[in-house]
Amino acid sequence: MSQQGAEERSEQATPKRLSEARDKGQVAKSMDLISAIGFFGVMVAFATTAGRFITYALTYLIRSLSTFAQPTARDAGFGHLFGEAVASYIFMVWPALLGALVIGVAANVLQSGFIWSLDPIKPELNRLNPIDGLGRMFSTRALFDLLKAMLKMALVGYAVFSGVQAELGRLLQSGFAEGMSSLVLVGRVLWVLALRVSLVYVLIGIVDFLYQRYEHKKNLMMSRQEVKEEHKQMEGDPQIRAKQRERARLLATRRMFSDIPHATVVITNPTHFAVALKYEENSGGAPTVVAKGSDYLAQRIIAKAKEAGVPIVQQPEVARALYRQVELGREIPVDLYRLVAEVLAMVLSRGGGL
């Protein structure tokens, strides 16, 4: 059955299917890439604000030790000192945290754009089904996540090990350094290690994003029947559209035959074409085609005209030109004025007026 389902879903997702999935929050997104970019952003933010961080930390440490040395420190209580410590810590780290937040949002937007949807957080009872849960545990996605976790552990471990091995001499030097020199050496080593780890995470995130795009496209693939059904929904069922066209044609025919008794003249081929014209002398407009048809329909128009007493004139050239050039309900073009005027003059001479 799975093979049959794979064969059925052989068509790429249509723009409508992609748009509906996006409206539901279903887009290709790698959380590993977001975490990697966020980690890299935090690292860069801390590196750029390290001097500020150390300055505030030393200032707070000196102030705290001075406060503890005073006899009145016990009376003030440790609650005040704890609050001051929290405030100082927030003041020190807020630039780095704000930078990480901005970079994390940017990483989301770059992958999928702005999306506003509450569907991903809606509760779904089918997720509580243990059978479906076992299916997800042993799915291709679960296997990929397991291999990805193992790969991350191996690559991060190798990056840290090789980094420590490369910076071992500098770490040993920090043990013999004094004061700020030791902190600077350790900070440089930590920076190198963090840079290695962040690069590994970014590479893993890029691979995961490519896989998520592949998986997303695969999950949205459609069968040929689904594509046909969507096409029907967008453009309408062909049978229904055919019935609508037939109904419109019948209504137009009925309206056309109801206008024939009010026509001025019917020009014929004499049997293959018939065109009924209506002309109002004082209207200022040109004659209008109120009915036209060929073969059987032409015979019906002629019969209806005879029944209503409308003049019938045999002018094959004029009938063919009117039938082919003028749409129903439209006035005749200028190049047919002369030919139609001759016919109207003929009718006028016979009937004594229009």
Q: Tell me the average pLDDT across 56-65.
A: 72
pLDDT of amino acid 5 = 45
pLDDT of amino acid 2 = 42
89 confidence band (pLDDT: 50, 70, 90): confident
pLDDT of amino acid 78 = 60
pLDDT of amino acid 275 = 93
Task: Give the C-alpha distances (Å, rounded to integers) separating 63 from 71, 89, 270.
Answer: 15, 14, 114
pTM of the model: 0.50
Alpha carbon distance, N-terminus to C-terminus of the chain: 78
As a whole-number percent, the residues of the chain with pLDDT over 70 amount to: 77
Separation of alpha carbons 266 and 291, rounded Å? 9
Question: pLDDT tens digits, residue range 251-290?
Answer: 888 888 888 998 989 999 877 899 999 988 777 788 899 9
Mutual angle of helices 238-259 and 296-308, in 10-degree steps:
30
Task: Identify the residue whose tokens are 């930390």.
Answer: 57
Task: Identify the residue whose tokens are 């397991």.
Answer: 146
Residue ranges, CATH 3.40.1690.10, the chain: 256-351
State which CATH number among 3.40.1690.10, 3.30.750.24, 3.40.1180.10, 3.40.50.300 fits the domain covering 256-351.
Answer: 3.40.1690.10
pLDDT of amino acid 183 = 67
Separation of alpha carbons 108 and 126, rounded Å? 28
pLDDT winner (highest mean) among 57-71, 87-101, 328-342: 328-342
Residue 48, pLDDT above cutoff 50: yes
Q: Tell me the average pLDDT across 89-107.
A: 76
What residues contact residue 17 under an 8 Å CB cut-off, 6+ apart? 220, 222, 230
Residue 149, pLDDT above cutoff 80: yes
Residue 69, pLDDT above cutoff 90: no
Q: Tell me the average pLDDT across 168-178.
A: 67
CA angle at 102 for the pair 101 and 103, rounded to the nearest 5°: 90
Residue 117, pLDDT above cutoff 70: no
160 confidence band (pLDDT: 50, 70, 90): confident
User: SS3 sequence, the chain?
Assistant: CHHHHHHHCCECCCHHHHHHHHHCCCCCCCHHHHHHHHHHHHHHHHHHCHHHHHHHHHHHHHHHHHHHHCCCHHHHCHHHHHHHHHHHHHHHHHHHHHHHHHHHHHHHHHHHCCCCCCHHHCCCHHHHCHHHHHHHHCCHHHHHHHHHHHHHHHHHHHHHHHHHHHCHHHHHHHHHCCCHHHHHHHHHHHHHHHHHHHHHHHHHHHHHHHHHHHHHHHHCCECHHHHHHHHHHHHCCHHHHHHHHHHHHHHHHHHHHHHHHHCCEEEECCCCEEEEEECCCCCCCCCEEEEEEECHHHHHHHHHHHHHCCCEEECHHHHHHHHHHCCCCCECCHHHHHHHHHHHHHHHHHHCCC
pLDDT of amino acid 176 = 62
Mean pLDDT for the chain overall: 77
pLDDT of amino acid 265 = 92
Is 265 exposed, middle or buried (CB count within 10 Å of its CB: 0-12, 13-18, 19+)? Answer: buried
Q: Tell me the average pLDDT across 166-170.
A: 74
pLDDT of amino acid 352 = 43
pLDDT of amino acid 166 = 78
pLDDT of amino acid 156 = 83
